[in-house]
Amino acid sequence: MPRELLLQVSPETAANDALLKTHLSKHSGIAEAEIAHVVVLKRSIDARQKAIKINLKLEVYLKDEPFSSQKIQLPDYPNVENAPEVIVIGAGPAGLFAALQLIECGLKPIVIERGKDVRGRRRDLKAINQDGIVNPESNYCFGEGGAGTYSDGKLYTRSKKRGDVDRILKLFVAFGASPDILVEAHPHIGTNKLPKIISDMRETIIEHGGKVLFETRVDDIVVKQNEVQGIVTNTGDVIHANKIILATGHSARDIFEMLDRKKILIEAKPFALGVRAEHPQELIDKIQYSCDYRGEFLPPAPYAVVKQVNGRGMYSFCMCPGGVIAPCATAPGEVVTNGWSPSKRDQATANSGIVVELKPEDFKPFAKFGALAGVEFQRSIEQRAWHLAGETQRAPAQRMVDFSQGKVSANIPKTSYVPGTTSIELGNVFPGFITQILREGFVEFGKSMRGYFTNEAILHAPESRTSSPVRIPRDTQTLEHPQIKGLYPCGEGAGYAGGIVSAAIDGEKCALMIVQALSR
């Protein structure tokens, strides 16, 4: 039987198989010549001390022990071309994993996606970056793979109680992701690699009898006697089905508005909002690793900070080491920022959302919008940012110390945000309570991470799409909407996930609930 061992080694040793084998022999008492295979099960960085270590969980096979390295395979998907049909609205992680789960269980998914496929999306991303043109149907948020496709590809989640994280990661590996995602404490695919993986998922759905319709927007859900009958698309076509998975993502405001108009129950939900802060990656490395140069064996350092300021949580969100800031507006007349990293995380800058938790009472000025009050609060800030920065996709920006002192920055250096920036006082973008918390909070962040509070850091506004401002309720057991039979609110847009993995898990759960309902 192989034995499991826990080791703490230097970054160089962790990166070199021969050195690792020698170290393992020395600390386990096993003769090096007897060690046939060493499999890394888990890997994480311990940077609490000046001498940084790598924590490893290993499986060790000796010469006389059987060992086979098995490639992770896709499930044996059946052909579902003539099977009962389920409509899946949205081709983000929730929708795609729901569709794959439906096929695995013998049902036919019809995936409806308002945006373009991954290849077609690239032209629209170029247009927003270079020309400031926002296509409301195809952008960083809408299109094949959803917001995650061109937004970093982080796969770690705190939602392990929600489902089988390993199953989702193994499916990603089977579709072409690096097996390292099964090992790393904070797995990450990278924006440059995700499009191919996502398109392979789509091809698998089609090859096994499912349908994927791009550039097809859902304009209405047909409901009779409180039961779904199908959907109406932007072309007027009606697609019939009595089971619908609604997995549209956190930025599909028209879907929220359509549900509200039809008096299908939705609820305002708290979310978080703030800025995206960019530092030189070398500075973050120096702070986190306590060294002038991280060397070739350590990855670009991430960070995570949480503070309570004036009774509110202020925290880092979607931190991107070696990454860039991207324009993520979904409609003309608004500015939205987000961040991503390529798989090597080899860009010169690090960025993170720094956001303030919001409460339902914050939306009172928009109370007339009912359940859409949070949406309108969010939209008002994005539109104000667009206006103040010059009515293009340039982002309002300010140096961090200047912002905390309420002083307009004399100049803003070129940042990774391609459309460019406009120097303004960011306090004019946000309501006063958010501005005050951010100003005080950055000073507190600097006390925890010495060197973080600096005018080398550039704040871009706003970081506003952290999660959905709406929750679409559902029964805790059946996952159906409590009012509309056959409607399954799903994923991040419905308020039940927070990232790629948790959205994928929720998609699978909704699919399994439909299978269970149809088997009764």
Q: How do strand 324-327 and strand 337-340 relate by DSSP bridges?
A: antiparallel
> Chain-wide mean pLDDT for the chain?
95
Residue-level pLDDT at 159: 54
DSSP string, 402-466: HHHTT---S-----S-TT-EEE--GGGTS-HHHHHHHHHHHHHHHHHSTT-SSTTSEEEEEE--S
Q: Could you read off the pLDDT of 91-100 as tens digits, one per residue? A: 999 999 999 9
Residue-level pLDDT at 344: 84
Confidence of residue 186 (pLDDT cuts 50, 70, 90): confident
**For 378-433, where are the E strands, in sequence order?**
395-399, 421-423
CB 8 within 8 A of CB 24: no
Structural domains for the chain = 3-62 (3.30.70), 85-266+472-518 (3.50.50.60), 272-463 (no CATH)
**326: nearest Cα among 84, 511, 99, 141:** 141
Amino acid at 87: I
Q: Could you read off the pLDDT of 413-457 as tens digits, one per residue? A: 999 999 999 999 999 999 999 999 999 999 999 999 999 999 999
Residue-level pLDDT at 49: 85
What is the C-alpha separation between 95 and 149, in angstroms, rounded?
13
- Say whether pTM exceeds 0.75: yes
What is the C-alpha separation between 18 and 446, in angstroms, rounded?
41
Amino acid at 69: S
Residue-level pLDDT at 151: 63
Confidence of residue 160 (pLDDT cuts 50, 70, 90): low
Evaluate if residue 355 carries a pLDDT over 60. yes
What is the C-alpha separation between 371 and 490, in angstroms, rounded?
18
CB 223 within 8 A of CB 229: yes
DSSP 480: S
Q: Which two tokens stand for residue 445?
A: 């962040």
Evaluate if residue 268 carries a pLDDT over 80. yes
Q: Could you read off the pLDDT of 34-62 as tens digits, one per residue? A: 999 999 999 999 998 888 999 999 999 99
